[in-house]
Amino acid sequence: MIHHKKRIVGMFLLCVAIIWYIFYKPTFLMNGNNKKNIVETIQSLNDANQSIEIVKIYDFKKDRYVAYLHDNIPAYIHFEKNTVGNYKFIDADYGYTGLENKTEENLQVFPLFRGYKDGKPLPLNLLVITNYENTVAKLGVRVVNATGSTEKSEINVSTPSASILTMYKASEAFSLEYKYFDKNGKLIK
């Protein structure tokens, strides 16, 4: 009788372990520990047949942002380091296609997650990613806060590239304005 109960408990635990593995297996595989796993994670989220090119990897404390091109479209994926030291998938932004303005399609700006310290927002980081068709040499960004205050900054870009632009005066409510310049400094758009 006792032997029979042990067998039933053992079978039950085995079934629970198998079911748990089936449902959580994708989370074990979706990590950003190395380039191979990053590419596999990106392909598992989208089309496995698309071309993926990692442009640059940024590590900020426990956050990892990977700028990449999928079929030459700028995008990024975000991982967070867990207590074991593995980078687990958090979210991704795949970029925009079919825009009327090809400049904006070939150079895309992604605001990254902002934390808070002492109830105030930390500086705003913008991830700027360009593809092979980019014609912009310099990007001008202006932050307009809800209070009316502004901050301007510029960043040089190339093809393909990824850069972080930090805006220190962005409040909680703001808008972004962009200016695009060619290699001769002439305004595009």
Q: Could you read off the pLDDT of 35-94 as tens digits, one per residue?
A: 999 999 999 888 778 899 999 999 998 999 999 999 999 999 999 999 888 899 999 998
What is the pLDDT confidence band of residue 31, given thresholds at 50, 70 and 90?
Answer: confident
Classify 82 as helix, strand or coil: coil
pLDDT for res 25: 54
pLDDT for res 29: 55
Q: Which two tokens stand for residue 62?
A: 């426990």
**Averaged pLDDT of the chain:** 87
Q: Average pLDDT, stretch 138-163? A: 92
What is the pLDDT confidence band of residue 28, given thresholds at 50, 70 and 90?
Answer: low
Share above pLDDT 90 across residues of the chain, in percent, rounded to a whole number? 55
Q: Residue 119 pLDDT > 90, yes or no?
A: no
Question: Cβ distance 76 to 52 under 8 Å?
Answer: no
pTM recorded for the entire structure: 0.81
Q: What does the alpha-carbon distance between residue 47 and residue 64 come to, in Å, rounded to a whole number?
A: 22
Q: Dihedral angle at the C-alpha atoms of 97, 98, 104, 110, nearest 10 degrees?
A: -30
Q: Residue 112 pLDDT > 80, yes or no?
A: yes
Q: What does the alpha-carbon distance between residue 160 and residue 59 come to, in Å, rounded to a whole number?
A: 19
Domain coordinates of the chain in residue numbers? 1-30, 32-188
